């Protein structure tokens, strides 16, 4: 089974989640999403695997969220996903993908459900 983590090495929860995965003998594909953001299609697929809508995994305290008025209820899912791809700082982290499922590593132990 391939395990992928959307990772930000500066985030303690992301580092803890990565360590938790590695402690189980798994070597995940690590994607530093701030350097290599997912495509809109990939992000939409991740959201589907999470069973969440874009705003549920957006970092609302980040400047682009406010600057782009992403709280506007008239914005479509596609528009929100496009904003996440254009401004990956908006993506909550870490996200772990394994076995056709995904989990947000908050708390880090939440990812154990899919490993």
The side-by-side arrangement of strands in the sheet containing 3-7 is 29-32, 3-7, 95-98, 101-104
Length of the chain: 115
CA atoms within a 13 Å half-sphere pointing along the CA-CB vector of 47:
23
Catalytic residue among 3, 10, 11, 53: 11
Which residue's entry shows tokens 């496009």? 82
Q: Does the active-site annotation cover 51?
A: no
> Among all residues, which ones are annotated catalytic?
11
């Amino acid at each position: 089974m391939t395990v992928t983590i959307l990772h930000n090495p500066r985030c303690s929860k992301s580092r803890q989640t990565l360590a938790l995965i590695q402690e189980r003998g798994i070597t995940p594909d690590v994607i530093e999403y701030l350097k290599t953001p997912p495509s809109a299609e990939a992000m939409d697929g991740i959201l589907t695997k999470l069973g969440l809508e874009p705003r549920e995994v957006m970092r609302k305290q980040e400047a682009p969220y406010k600057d782009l008025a992403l709280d506007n209820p008239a914005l479509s899912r596609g528009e929100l996903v496009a904003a996440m791809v254009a401004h990956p700082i908006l993506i909550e982290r870490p996200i772990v993908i394994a076995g056709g499922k995904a989990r947000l590593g908050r708390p880090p132990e939440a990812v154990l459900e899919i490993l």
